[in-house]
Amino acid sequence: MDVYDELIRLRRLGQKCAIATIVQVRGSIPSFESAKLLVREDGSMIGTIGGGCVEAEVWNAAREVMETEKSKHMSFNLGQDAAYDNGLICGGQLDVFVEPVIPPPRAIIFGAGHISKSLCKVANLAGFSTTIVDNRESFANRERFPEADRPRIHLPDHRHARASRRYACAALGGHHAGPVCRHDRQQAESTLGGQGAGKGWPVAPAARSNSRADGSGDRRDLARGDRGAPQSEIELALAIHVRLRRGVLAGAVEVSVAGLILAAGESMRMGSPKALLEFRGETFLDRLTRVFSQFCAPVVVVVGAQADKIRSGVKSPERAIFAENTNYQLGQLSSMQCGLRTLPEKIEGVLFTLVDHPNVQPSTIAALLEQPRPLLAIPRCQGRRGHPIYFGAGLIGEFLSIPPDSQAKAVIARHIDETRWVDVDDSGILDDVDDAAAYRRLIETA
């Protein structure tokens, strides 16, 4: 069975799965770049990324990814020491990206009146799979609800269904509200402001008692029950939709910022790769990827000079995706551009730093990423600016459009009036460890 066909089938069934993809290969491996493995909720698999110990570790990661709904990046070294017990003595290295595939959230709309028609359209545009529940065949049908996944003319029993990613909403017409409430108490109470799941919109009592069978009483009574209520069915549908989306986001892990760490320089003044210097029991790079991965996904590390040494020297390579800039000698901007091209398209922004700033505190990153996020956010300590910085996705094109041998600060200067300055009590943003003397000072203050 094809991986993509199975993915579509599982989504239609409302089941989770995880996809593991080999995203980068260096040297010889028992598979190929872009190979895929799909892991179902029950642990069964389709496809392969080469078998052996690598596939076993990725299988475990896939189960974790489905549980947390958060992607994971893994790196493997198939050298003699790493894998000879499993027969994978290929000598190569590979990076695997494991991502959850979550079925769309389902909105169950009780009542098939005119408000429900607008709500169904809005929910469909927002990515919901919708079910219409009404015992009037002339209302709940495919002609009135072409966007609905399943128009139903009966009252299904949800008591034994899993509650995850299901959201109830009522736009009830007349006397049918009573049977719905009695049929599915938890769903209807949450919708009507009761003590159920808490995922609905509280509706005024008048709307429940005075609604007419054709649904025409809903809008007037809802407006009277809430001074701020919308005054048309499409406005009401949008208002209910906002509540539904809030319910989805409140229960989801939402990561919209990618991390970008540059470690491609030659470290000539230091005499050895700065990424591998030790600080508080970790290498500079391990420390940064650990802190960044708490807030960002993915975390991309750009290497260049001594790339293989850095990859093999870090202790937790699975926290990041490594991108290699073969033109690192053009300068820092060329490495930044290499990293930006590696990032996924749909991100809100980028948290960016250099590997020689290892002492930044998590609280500083949290402050930089505080909502609402600006186009640019730069930290300051004692009036001095430092790293990391945050910039919105709208600036990625500008950074990529300038010559690779120029400087990124030219883009930042153009948007200085749109910058949020974040004052922090964190001298780590100023720790620029370029040479042995600066490294000694860092160690002395640790």
pLDDT digits (tens, 9 = 90+) for 368-399: 999 899 999 999 999 999 999 999 999 999 99
How far apart are alpha carbons 184 and 351 in whole angstroms? 46
Q: Are residues 291 and 415 in the same domain?
A: yes
Q: Are residues 197 and 87 in the same domain?
A: no
Between residues 335 and 184, the one the model is more confident about = 335
Residue where one domain finishes, among candidates 103, 131, 149: 103
Q: Are residues 279 and 423 in the same domain?
A: yes
* Structural domain range at position 409: 255-446
Q: Are residues 443 and 355 in the same domain?
A: yes
Task: Quote the pTM value.
Answer: 0.47
Q: Are residues 126 and 224 in the same domain?
A: yes
Between residues 168 and 436, the one the model is more confident about = 436
Please say if the pLDDT value at position 201 is more than 50: no
Q: Are residues 208 and 264 in the same domain?
A: no
Neighbours of 49 (CB within 10 A): 23
Q: Are residues 62 and 169 in the same domain?
A: no
pLDDT digits (tens, 9 = 90+) for 40-79: 988 899 999 988 888 989 999 999 999 888 888 888 888 7
Q: Are residues 131 and 273 in the same domain?
A: no
Yes or no: say if 405 and 329 are a contact pair by the CB < 8 Å rule: no
For 289, phi then psi, to 5°, come to -65, -30
Q: Are residues 68 and 118 in the same domain?
A: no
Q: Which residues sit opposite 262 in a β-bridge?
A: 302, 354
pLDDT digits (tens, 9 = 90+) for 223-280: 333 334 444 555 555 555 555 444 444 443 344 899 999 999 988 888 889 999 998 8
What is the pLDDT confidence band of residue 192, given thresholds at 50, 70 and 90?
very low
Number of folded domains in the chain? 3
Q: Are residues 278 and 353 in the same domain?
A: yes
Q: Are residues 79 and 126 in the same domain?
A: no
| Mean per-residue pLDDT over the chain, rounded | 77
Residue where one domain finishes, among candidates 220, 250, 280: 250
Query: What is the H or E stretch that residue 376 is in?
Result: strand 376-381
Edge-first strand listing for the sheet containing 36-40: 45-47, 36-40, 17-26, 93-101, 72-77
For 66, phi then psi, to 5°, come to -65, -35
Dump the DSSP string for 399-437: HHHS-TTS-THHHHHHTGGGEEEEE-S-GGGG----SHH
Neighbours of 446 (CB within 10 A): 9
For 433, phi then psi, to 5°, come to -95, 90
| CATH code at position 299 | 3.90.550.10
* Nearest one of 8, 202, 170, 176 to 101, comparing CA atoms: 8
- pLDDT score at 170: 53
Residue where one domain finishes, among candidates 103, 127, 155: 103
Q: Are residues 278 and 233 in the same domain?
A: no
Please name the residue that has the structure tokens 């539904």: 244
pLDDT digits (tens, 9 = 90+) for 156-186: 444 444 444 555 555 544 433 443 333 333 3
| CATH code at position 110 | 3.40.50.720
How far apart are alpha carbons 354 and 359 in whole angstroms? 11
How far apart are alpha carbons 406 and 146 in whole angstroms? 54
